[in-house]
Chain A
Amino acid sequence: MSERAAGSIYDLGYRRYEGRRLGRWDAVLSLYVHGLRAAFGLGRRTRSKVFPMGLAVVAAIPALGYLMAAAFIDIDISDAIGAEDYFTSTFFFPPAALMLFVAAVAPELLGRDQRHATLPLYFSRGLSRQDYALARYASMATALLALTLLPQALLFFGNALVVDSFGGYFQDEWGQVGPIIGSSLLISLFFAAIGMVISAQSGRRAFATIGVIAPFVFLPIISGVLVGVVENFIGRLGVFLNPFFVIDGFTYWFFDAAPDLGEGHPLNTADFAGGWYFFFALAVTAAGVALLVRHYGRRSL
């Protein structure tokens, strides 16, 4: 500013940077934050915000509706929506919105850097390829976590409204918080792993998106046939092919709930203990992340 006061602009010449230089962790953190913002289109054009923000709303539709209803009419607490049901196949919108969100955002997070060839700019800095893959994965998982936790928070408040005693509800239902966070975290990590590992295979956005959606559409069909028709152990294992049932399985396990799903529901037919779904989701997640890291480690530039 002083140069302007002096009435002329000087070229100060090149100045060396003598300030602090942060380490690898901070570099990874900045990549992570940048990715998380990009996931919701923050700092981008309005067009990039529409889809992710829209899906966040869709995921919250049952919770929003419930919250509004609870505010205006008396609902019996026995009819309340349970936190354990929200992201299971009980409601259609929430899990479908999560799936579409991954299909829209994962190709964006990974594909942009491939399409615009920005990867060499990252890899020629003090950041390893593994750091890059993990930071991108973390951004995707965190974005999903936001999408799952928001409706759960709305639901929690909605239920507190139903019982008319805010403080009392919080005290009584405090035990729900652990399972809510645990199941939301695993849903996010699980979906992010599947979505990212598929998206990494193609820089073409359309291919990657279709590639992510396809297994969520076709695997449940195959799973349905196996569980419903093949009446042996192999058939029962088919339940694991349906990612939505896997989520149902481990979510009920987190909440220690034994819902009445009705006769003939695949989860009942398959008859596995909830812990199996938990470990299966964990194994798929770990395998997905390992594949993602390996993919970027081997990628030629």
Chain B
Amino acid sequence: MPLIETYALTKQYPGVTALNALDINVEPGIIGLVGANGAGKSTLIKILLGLLPATRGKARVLDMDVETEGRAIRGLVGYMPEHDCLPPDLSATEFVAHLAEVSGLPRTAARERTAETLRHVGLFEERYREIGGYSTGMKQRVKLAQALVHDPRLIFLDEPTNGLDPAGRDEMLDLVRRTGREFGIAVLMSSHLLGEIERVCDSLVVIDAGRLVRQGAVAEFTAGLGSLEVEVEGDAAALAEALTARGFEARGEGFLAHVGLNGDDPYDAIRDCIVELELGLVRLEQRRQTLEDIFRPEADEAVAERV
């Protein structure tokens, strides 16, 4: 059963098309929703939650229609908004327990789940203090806790690492990973940072200017796309030429050459070429391609198109 499906989903604001005939189909797991700021990530999440009506098209979450079964969907999902959404004069315990009750948990169960969930996200004694005095990292944890407190089947996290320092970012990503892997809750996480998505997500959906760029498993994007980085003492361009002559994908500049891993035994070929050209080999390193490498040109093009 697909987790989320959309058919020609379109959202138009006066003068702006936020989502443009979006067709998405994702399976359960940790899903990354990637796009530049303003690509339509938040709009998509809000439509899936039923917070915003779509202009055209259909969307299904957990095999239920967003428009007609919105209440049933909202009972089974959690939502962590991008913006600040916590009242400063309540304690985390009080606020999260209140929201747990609004989610339909009986009072005592709401209290228990609140204590457990806050512990899971790493808030301990400070959970009895007023939220107003929390750091950004602690506030993000409370926001995550309120999305998890009623034990949903799917959570929507809108830019969960927003405003966090590198350490806080790592901790939040770790929490997201644990939520998906250990807790068994499906996650849709939006981010404009590919590196984050690559670290925690199983699959990704890339959107730009409201249109789908690509979707699929993260492994599909990165596997088989590796390259070798060769550092030599001498002319790397000449090495690249020699390798290209042998049928490899290679380019070189200065002391560095990049060689594709697609041909027949590239290591031997590199060694032979270096010997022939009498270059000194300094370093030979396999570089796994990151999502950044794959989408950088596409994203740049998209930006150029818009300008």
Q: Name A's B-contacting residues (CB within 8 A).
A: 13-17, 19-24, 26-27, 30-31, 34, 43-45, 48, 112, 116-118, 120-128, 300-301
Contact = CB atoms under 8 A, between A and B. Distances in A.
B182 A117 contact: no
Contact of B86 (A15, A48, A118): A118
Given A14-B120, A21-B105, A121-B99, 13 more contacts: A14-B178, A14-B184, A17-B113, A23-B104, A26-B101, A45-B89, A116-B88, A118-B85, A123-B51, A124-B49, A125-B75, A126-B71, A126-B103
A136 to B, nearest CB: 12
A15 B116 CA distance: 9
Given A17-B151, A34-B98, A45-B89, A22 B46 contact: no
Nearest to A129: B51
Contacts of A43: 94
Contacts of A30: 98, 101-102, 107
Interface residue range, chain B: 35 or more
Interface in B106-150: 106-107, 109, 113, 116, 120, 146, 150
Nearest first, the 4 A-B pairs at minimum CB distance are A17-B151, A30-B101, A124-B79, A126-B75
B102 to A, nearest CB: 5
B288 interface: no
B71 A301 contact: no
B89 A124 contact: no
B81 A121 contact: yes
B127 to A, nearest CB: 15
A117 B81 contact: yes
Contact of A120 (B72, B85, B105): B85
B33 interface: no
Interface string B45-87: 0100111100000000000000000011011011101011111
B183 interface: yes
Nearest to A132: B102
Contact of A121 (B77, B85, B101, B120): B85
B89 A48 contact: yes
Contacts of A126: 71-72, 74-75, 103-104
Nearest to B73: A126
Given A14-B120, A17-B151, A120-B79, A127 B105 contact: no
A26 B104 contact: yes
